[in-house]
Chains A and B, each alone.
Chain A
């Protein structure tokens, strides 16, 4: 039998702080991305879309790595809080991945001349989006908390393999998508320092936002687990 006592955790107490930090960091990052940073020499002002596109993509990577770690922790300990963390991070990761695709498409039209291209980075990202939507749907196949959590944990461990595939796809194959300009093997970003600062500011802001969303979503899932267990008892 698994314990599902929903209790106030330090993460929940941090939620107001995380919400305030997200708002302040987002306004700062928006000012840096839209006003402070210069237009790109080749792309012009459309480069400003990349600050949110890349931040969403990186946070999607983080969210799915958290799904992996929480899934391993669930199988190891069988504590339902790790299943709540995994499903919450998967849901938020799907949102970030969907936004990555939409923002990439809006950026691609004025830059590549097309809204969509069947090239490696776009295909692997779309596959990652579909796989984690499947992860969320498969969870509904069983009403049994433990069985559902175990199946989801196995899937959460397997699916993370697509994260490095997405990131490295542009280096493995001829791609229309540009090569990594920050997370490079030589750890030497090729961006202009002011553009790199705006991108880092946006990534920090999205990281605060992710943490805030996680505290809210995990709380909802813990309450749901407690209700199911109470109804079963």
Chain B
């Protein structure tokens, strides 16, 4: 099965959930460091 534009779809979902994951991690770190 071939999925058209697969690299674009992967890039979009990876950048979206990667950025959201980084933000959740940064909030946890700021909370832990007592910022």
Give chain B nearest CB distance to A132 CB in angstroms: 15
Give chain A nearest CB distance to B16 CB in angstroms: 5
B27/A49 in contact, CB under 8 A: no
Interface 9-mer from A73-81, A103-111, A140-148, A151-159: A103-111
B16/A103 in contact, CB under 8 A: yes
Prevailing SS type, chain A contact patch:
helix
B31 contact from A34, A49, A99, A220, Cβ within 8 A: A220
- Mark out the residues of chain B between 10 and 24 whose CB falls within 8 Å of any chain A CB in the assembled complex: 11-13, 15-16, 19-20, 23-24
- Classify chain A's interface size: 20 to 34
A219/B31 in contact, CB under 8 A: yes
A45/B4 in contact, CB under 8 A: yes
Give chain A nearest CB distance to B35 CB in angstroms: 6
A52 contact from B3, B4, B13, B27, Cβ within 8 A: B13
Which residues of chain B are near A177, meaning CB under 8 Å? none
- Mark out the residues of chain A between 41 and 65 whose CB falls within 8 Å of any chain B CB in the assembled complex: 44-46, 48-49, 52-53, 56
B interface residues (Cβ-Cβ under 8 A, vs A): 3-6, 8-9, 11-13, 15-16, 19-20, 23-24, 27-28, 30-31, 34-35
A interface residues (Cβ-Cβ under 8 A, vs B): 30, 34, 39, 44-46, 48-49, 52-53, 56, 92, 95, 98-99, 102-103, 106-107, 109-110, 209, 213, 216-217, 219-220, 223-224
